[in-house]
């Protein structure tokens, strides 16, 4: 049974789509970079992030408290909730900039 022109066109499109999908899977299995990927919302947890370059981080309004350094030995705390920056040693705030 011979294919008509429309059937051949539809089959050619399906073959091209599947060939592209196979190539993407092959690159994934070989450790090659993939152009795009679909990740479900909230699927990436903090435990899955090994490192983060600050230059890649973009925020609108930062309203969390972030420690830079080790709180046990001293740190700089960026406190967006209270509009201040706090430099601390292991036990006490040494410098407070902003609302006290």
What confidence tens digit (pLDDT) does each residue in 36-90 have?
777 888 888 888 777 777 776 776 666 666 777 776 778 888 887 788 888 888 7
Q: Which of 13-17, 25-29, 53-57, 58-62 has the highest mean pLDDT?
A: 13-17
Structure tokens at 97: 């900039």
- Output the pLDDT for position 92: 84
The mean pLDDT of 13-21, rounded to a whole number, is 92
- Does the pTM surpass 0.85? The reply is no
Q: Kindly list the strands in the beta sheet with 74-79, ordered across the sheet, starting from the edge strand earlier in the chain.
A: 65-70, 74-79, 84-88, 93-98
Q: E-assigned strands of 1-100? A: 65-70, 74-79, 84-88, 93-98
Please give the structure tokens belonging to residue 64: 């969390």
Distance between CA 18 and CA 77 in Å, rounded?
51
Q: Domain map of the chain by residue range?
A: 1-37, 50-100
């Amino acid at each position: 049974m011979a294919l008509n022109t429309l059937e051949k066109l539809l089959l050619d499109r399906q073959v091209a789509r599947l060939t592209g999908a196979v190539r993407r899977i092959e690159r994934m299995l070989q450790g090659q970079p993939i152009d795009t990927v679909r990740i479900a919302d909230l699927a990436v947890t903090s435990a899955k992030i090994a490192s983060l370059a600050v230059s890649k981080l973009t925020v609108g309004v930062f309203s969390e408290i972030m420690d830079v350094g080790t709180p046990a030995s001293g740190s700089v705390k960026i406190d967006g909730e209270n509009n201040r920056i706090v430099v601390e040693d292991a036990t006490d705030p040494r410098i407070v900039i902003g609302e006290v």
